[in-house]
């Protein structure tokens, strides 16, 4: 958990997501994960989060109308996310389409695409990459990306909610990678704080404290606080 917290602070969202999946399932190869459609990556992250933190997710979005933050709780299990049963993506779904007479075969974006986009220095570079990856002209890229997202429904989940302050309805994009990276970083910070408090009181090493069961650490923290 601490290593993933460190990775979350210094890595892009896509790179962190890949590292998290590889840590959760050591038998997977990076090349396998990079070949996944984005929805399969999101499903794996939801499963990983379920293992460590449970089914219920909570966040504090900011209302786009009044600017107030509010509490939002949800369960991804109601959105189509489930327990991964097969790590192999198989054949990607495709759809044939014509743009101004030019035929194209559109596929979902894969993890490799997302990592490549994040490494692009400028927005124009990302657009050029995506157009080349989907084999369409850049002027048709927006329509091609919409179709690509339709082919991978789990990669394009929106949370419909209403602000309790002003009643404004809004839709929030569900981004498991960013959400989980922030949650892991917060958890790692709390764990390091516990380690620091126990080490200061008892002069034990970080490795020894981290090797303790969580209940044992809570016992010592309670003694310190009292």
Give CA–CA dist 138/99, Å, rounded: 11
Of 8, 84, 10, whose CA–CA distance to 42 is shortest?
Answer: 84
For residue 149, count other CB atoms closer than 10 A to its CB.
Answer: 15
- Per-residue pLDDT, 86: 67
- Per-residue pLDDT, 215: 92
> What is the greatest pairwise CA distance in the chain?
76
Q: CA dihedral in degrees (48, 119, 158, 9; nearest 10)?
A: 50
Of 222, 196, 225, whose CA–CA distance to 2 is shortest?
Answer: 196
- Per-residue pLDDT, 89: 65
Domains of the chain, residue spans: 2-93+152-173
What are the E-state strand segments in 119-194?
A: 158-162, 169-173
Give CA–CA dist 207/187, Å, rounded: 17
- Per-residue pLDDT, 85: 67
- Per-residue pLDDT, 12: 84
- Per-residue pLDDT, 5: 67
Which string of b and e fits 123-141 if b means at least 16 CB within 10 Å? eeebbeebbebbebeeebb
Q: What is the mean pLDDT for each group of 10 consecutive residues in the chain (226 residues)? A: 66 88 91 94 92 87 92 89 74 90 92 94 90 94 95 92 93 89 83 91 92 91 92
- Per-residue pLDDT, 98: 92
* Helix, strand, coil in percent for the chain, rounding step 5: 55, 15, 30
Per the CB < 8 A criterion, the answer to whether 153 and 82 are in contact is no
Of 32, 61, 12, 22, whose CA–CA distance to 177 is shortest?
Answer: 12
- Per-residue pLDDT, 91: 82
Give CA–CA dist 174/64, Å, rounded: 16
Per the CB < 8 A criterion, the answer to whether 123 and 30 are in contact is no
State the sign of the Cα–Cα–Cα–Cα dihedral 151, 153, 157, 158.
positive
């Amino acid at each position: 958990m601490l290593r993933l917290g460190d990775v979350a602070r210094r890595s892009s969202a896509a790179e962190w997501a890949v590292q998290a999946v590889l840590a959760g399932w050591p038998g997977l190869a990076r090349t396998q994960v990079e070949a996944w459609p984005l929805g399969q990556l999101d499903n794996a992250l939801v499963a990983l989060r379920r293992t460590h933190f449970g089914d219920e997710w909570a966040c504090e979005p900011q209302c786009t109308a009044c600017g107030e933050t509010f509490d939002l709780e949800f369960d991804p299990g109601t959105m189509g996310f489930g327990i991964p049963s097969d790590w192999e993506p198989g054949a990607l779904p495709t759809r044939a389409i014509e743009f101004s007479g030019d035929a194209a075969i559109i596929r979902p974006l894969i993890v490799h695409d997302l990592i490549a986009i994040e490494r692009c220095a400028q927005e124009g570079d990302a657009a050029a990459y995506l157009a080349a990856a989907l084999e369409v002209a850049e002027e048709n890229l927006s329509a091609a990306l919409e179709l690509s997202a339709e082919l991978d429904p789990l990669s394009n989940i929106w949370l419909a909610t209403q602000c309790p302050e002003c009643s404004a309805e809004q839709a929030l994009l569900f981004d498991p990678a960013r959400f989980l990276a922030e949650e892991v970083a917060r958890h790692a910070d709390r764990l390091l704080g516990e380690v620091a408090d126990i080490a200061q009181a008892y002069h034990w090493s970080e490795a020894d404290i981290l090797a303790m069961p969580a209940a044992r650490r809570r016992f010592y923290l309670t003694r310190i606080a009292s």
